[in-house]
Amino acid sequence: MSVEVSGIGFDDPVLLASGILGSTGASLNRALRSGAGGVVTKSIGPRERTGHPGPNVFVDDSEEYALNAVGLSNPSDAFTDEVEKVEGPTVVSVFGGTADEFADVAGTFAPYADAFELNVSCPHAEGYGVDIGADAELTRDVTAAVDEAVDAPVWVKMTPDVTDVTEIGVAAQEGGADAVVATNTLSAMAIDVESGRPILGNAHGGMSGSALKPVAVRCVYDLYDALDIPIVGVGGVSSAEDALEYMLAGARAVEVGTAVWDGVEVLGEIADGIETYKKDNDLSHDELVGRAHELTPKEDGDGGEG
Amino acid sequence: MRPITLEVTDRVKEGDGIATLRFDRSFDVSPGEFGMFWVHGVDEIPMSFAYDDGVTVRGVGEATDAMLSLSEGDTFGVRGPFGTPFDVPDDDVVIVGGGTGMAPVALLTEAASANGADVTTLIGAGTADELVFEERLSRVADVRVATEDGTAGYEGLVTGLLDDVTDEKGAPSNVGSCGPEPMMSAVLDRFDDRPGDVQLCLERYMKCGVGICGSCCIDDTGSPVCSDGPVYRGDELTNGEFGVYHRDGAARKKYF
């Protein structure tokens, strides 16, 4: 069942996504006990932050999506006390406003991280996240700075809010990324009709959940054609079928976020379902990953770069 | 769920800096369940329901102060009810409450009484002006009060009163508690040979209310208080942070 992504082995290809139940060592261990093959921490930055005023998160009545604007709340360096308790493969998510800040934070957590995930894609914190990850040059610079600062593999988390996600993916790869993660939430807003106000305290937020999945699957599919480095899929995975969609599109592993609101046990259930599918279809993990590309009719002059 | 808009239909002053807001909609609420109350333009905060159509607010910060400033006809939002409530006993129970913990204590007292239980409810406060729900709960339970300054009832901590009541009535089959965590921790200590009989309702910093964000996860189980809790049995809270520390909005530890 074990898979390898960028040289790191995971017991199964289902990881806890960043920003989900990931504020403490104990909560990350709980995800591991529930069947996650690895965990991604909440994004940690150069300074402690309490985040935006609430409402910070809500799940829509349709249950098809959640919106959040937590605002990169984090305890900064004090998180070292938490991450050192984690008893499984640990991807430390970091953010900063500049390449140097990214490199400094990654350096602080180097003793605890099996890999780093660079949050250049949070859509609701000015000066951070997507302000970097929508720009190819900044993405390349940040990735290169972290790659130079630490020995561990560097994963770069993509925003879906760009015209061409492959341009950003290629920039990350050129900067030395060992994997890309696709995607972060989609910039979004909801308005409370009765009061007339945006629901989120920050007005703008990020959309996650099932409604994000077709957008992020398309990103993974396109990145698979464009890149040589592995891809981790994330966005609206709540079942093994969802995870398999990402893998067929080209993801070696998936991250699960919003779906834990039904119970963290979903992590293990998804991992078991992937394994069953591979056995039933007599597919190795390598054969599964990207298989949809082989089965896609290609038009002349299109999609030949993979 | 998206927030629902509520209109204040009544505002009752309960004590010094404490008021109950009743609203124009009734929820199917079990004791210990909470809502994420949205004070428009300010913040969203978790508060236990004190009635199926009301909350009791103590001014402890920007959002609660703003809540206290609302009057009849004003509106605010809520998501919920959320959380895992108390198991309501039907034999005998001593319920110990204090401070902002009185909301779930009131609902538990009424629900246990309606269930046929023999209910003794102990209300603790710093001073007589801060005592809430004494009259309300006296209708359905044997209510005793304790004030630290002796201005009403037993003089001293409510846990001292609990010891007196246990001497008088014998050990209760069930214990429920909600209030300041050092108080709840002292209650649990008195039943450390059978912590599973003690239900405690916790307060933690929350953002999502539905078990996604992790802001309220407690050590060392990692359990999210907003969905697994806020009510836990004492044997679920050993060797962890209960009674020792909590975390703020940046996930920094704050010791009690």
The closest alpha carbon to B11, from B64, B63, B74, B65, belongs to: B74
pLDDT (tens digit per residue) in A217-267: 999 999 999 999 999 999 999 999 999 999 999 999 999 999 998 889 999
Which of B211, B219, B252 lies nearest to residue A261, judging by beta carbons? B211
Contacts of A74 in chain B (CB under 8 A): 250-251
A263 annotated as a binding-site residue: no
Pairwise CA distance, residues A59 & A138, whole Å: 33
Q: Is B213 on the interface with A (CB under 8 A)?
A: yes
The helix/strand/coil state of B182 is helix
Report chain A residues whose CB lies below 8 A from the CB of B77: 55, 192, 195
Q: CA B20 to CA B211: how far, in whole Å?
A: 28
Residues paired with A182 in a beta bridge: A158, A233
Min Cα–Cα distance to chain A from B67, Å:
14
Query: Which of A21, A48, A60 shows the shortest C-beta gap to B252?
Result: A48
Residues of B in contact with A53 (CB under 8 A): 42-44
CB atoms B217 and A197 under 8 Å: no
User: Among partner residues A54, A74, A261, which is closest to B44 by beta-carbon distance?
Assistant: A54
What pLDDT does residue A304 have? 47
Partner-chain contact A20 B41, CB within 8 Å: no
Which domains, and CATH codes, for chain A? 3-52+74-188+209-294 (3.20.20.70)
Q: Express each pLDDT in B25-62 by its tens digit.
A: 999 999 999 999 999 999 999 999 999 999 999 999 99
Q: Considering Cα of B123, then B128, then B133, then B135, what sign does the dihedral take?
A: positive
- Give the pLDDT confidence score for residue A43 in this predicted structure: 97
| Amino acid B183: pLDDT | 97
Structure tokens at B169: 């009535």
Minimum Cα–Cα distance from A64: chain B residue: B1
Q: How far is B225 from chain A (nearest CA, A)?
A: 11
Is the CB of A53 less than 8 angstroms away from the CB of B42? Answer: yes
Q: Is the CB of B214 less than 8 angstroms away from the CB of A21?
A: yes
- Calculate the CA A261 to chain-centre distance: 17
Q: Is B152 exposed, middle or buried (0-12, 13-18, 19+ CB in 10 A)?
A: middle
CB contact under 8 A, B252 and A78: yes
Are A73 and B218 in contact (CB < 8 Å)? no
Which residue in A67, A118, A122, A232 is the catalytic one? A122
Give the Cα separation of A149 and A181 in Å (integer).
Answer: 20
Considering only CB atoms, A42 lies closest to which of B36, B79, B214, namely: B214
The token duo for A241 is 């079928």
Phi, psi angle pair for B126, to nearest 5°: -70, -40
Nearest to A73 among B218, B251, B253 (CB): B251
* Selection from B181, B205, B191 nearest residue B234 by Cα: B191
Compute φ and ψ for B11, nearest 5 degrees. -130, 120
Nearest CA in chain B to A263: B211
* Chain B contact probe: residue of A24, A40, A83, A189 with most B CBs at under 10 A: A24
Active site residue A219: no
Proportion of chain B above pLDDT 70, given as a percent: 100
Q: Which stretches of chain A score pLDDT less than 50?
A: 303-306
The annotation status of B217 as a binding-site residue, yes or no, is no
- What percent of chain B is modeled with pLDDT above 90? 96
Do A140 and A175 touch, CB atoms closer than 8 A?
yes
CB pair distance less than 8 Å for A58 and B2: yes
Q: What is the DSSP string of A13-53?
A: SEEEPTTSS-SSHHHHHHHHHTT-SEEEPPPB-SS-B--PP
pLDDT digits (tens, 9 = 90+) for B166-216: 999 999 999 999 999 999 999 999 999 999 999 999 999 999 999 999 999
Among B7, B215, B238, which would you mutate to test the A interface (most chain A Cβ atoms within 10 Å of its Cβ)? B215
Is residue A283 a contact partner of residue A274, using CB atoms and an 8 Å limit?
no
Short-list A151, A150, A217, A209, CA closest to A183: A217
Domains and CATH numbers, chain B: 4-82 (2.40.30.10), 92-255 (3.40.50.80)
The reply, when asked if residue A175 is annotated as ligand binding, is no
Contact criterion met (CB < 8 Å) for B43 and A54: yes
ipTM of the complex: 0.93
Computed over every residue of chain B, the mean pLDDT equals 96
Indicate yes or no: CB of B212 within 8 angstroms of CB of A42. no
- pLDDT at B4 (0 to 100): 97
Check the annotation: does B226 bind a ligand: yes
C-alpha span between B50 and B105 (Å, rounded): 8
